Amino acid sequence: MRLLFLGDMVGKTGRTAVWERLPGLVSDLKLDFVIVNGENAAGGFGITEDIFLETINAGADVVTTGNHVWDQKDAIVFAGRHDQFLRPANYPAGTPGRGSSVYYARNGARVLVANVMGRVFMHPELDDPFKTAEAILAACPLKEQADAIVFDFHAEATSEKQCFGHFVDGRASLVVGTHTHVPTADCQILNGGTGYMSDAGMCGDYDSSLGMEKEEPLNRFISKMPKGRFEAASGPATICGLGIEISDSTGLAEKIAPLRIGPRLAETIPAFWA
């Protein structure tokens, strides 16, 4: 199975780049399943229902989120209406929406996607992500109720991300980190067969500070005083994520590599899809 994961869409330029390029990627690369993190898609803070639906229409099968999931008020309302919209699974019981679900890929495979948020340097501090993952895996084991399992681990600390990867190694197809918006160079297959990358990067303008116009973040580092609001950068966007091929027989990773399309960063498409 060919699966593509795209990192956090940031602002109009990020989401527009995904909408414009994703249909061609699905067709040209013969993708079976696509996951996109959309938590920064609305001006850099949260996501609206219209943006979610446009992302699904462009070819995403699931849209994941993170700590900014509720920044747009209507997310609280529409979260429960759409099975393809995920918020972190370790929110307390009773939170609107869902944190994981099983979907069908284009090749008929059953794909469990789970959105889990870390706790180190993160706000709000949610329930234990490791216990949450254990419960999800116990309810839907790989090669029993799911042919592939993907975790979007939305977290700040790479140590927490790596430990989470090792925790589910051999029991999930892929663990990919989001939230820090910078693509890491550690794309790999862990010892037990789980694909892993600490951060997929963002889909946004890299002439920025994590997708935001750089002047105000720079000012706050220097002066410690706010002069204005953070605004999403509006220059040309680079699409960042990773591609993975998952074994039909084991549900584990066979090949994994980063994907980057756009200016500033060196463009790359997984060689096994070229």
Phi, psi of 245 (to 5 degrees): -105, 125
Instruction: Please give the helix or strand (H or E) that residue 13 lies within, else none.
Output: helix 11-28
Show Cβ contacts of residue 20 under 8 Å, excluding neighbours closer than 6 positions.
Answer: none
Neighbours of 248 (CB within 10 A): 12
Cα dihedral 60, 65, 70, 74, rounded to 10, equals 10
Show Cβ contacts of residue 59 under 8 Å, excluding neighbours closer than 6 positions.
Answer: 22, 23, 25, 26, 31, 34
What is the chain's Cα-based Rg? 17
Based on the residue annotation, tell me whether 68 is a catalytic residue of this protein: yes
Instruction: Please give the helix or strand (H or E) that residue 100 lies within, else none.
Output: strand 100-104
* Active-site pick, 68, 154, 179, 181: 68
Q: How many residues does the chain have?
A: 274
By annotation, the residues acting in catalysis are: 68
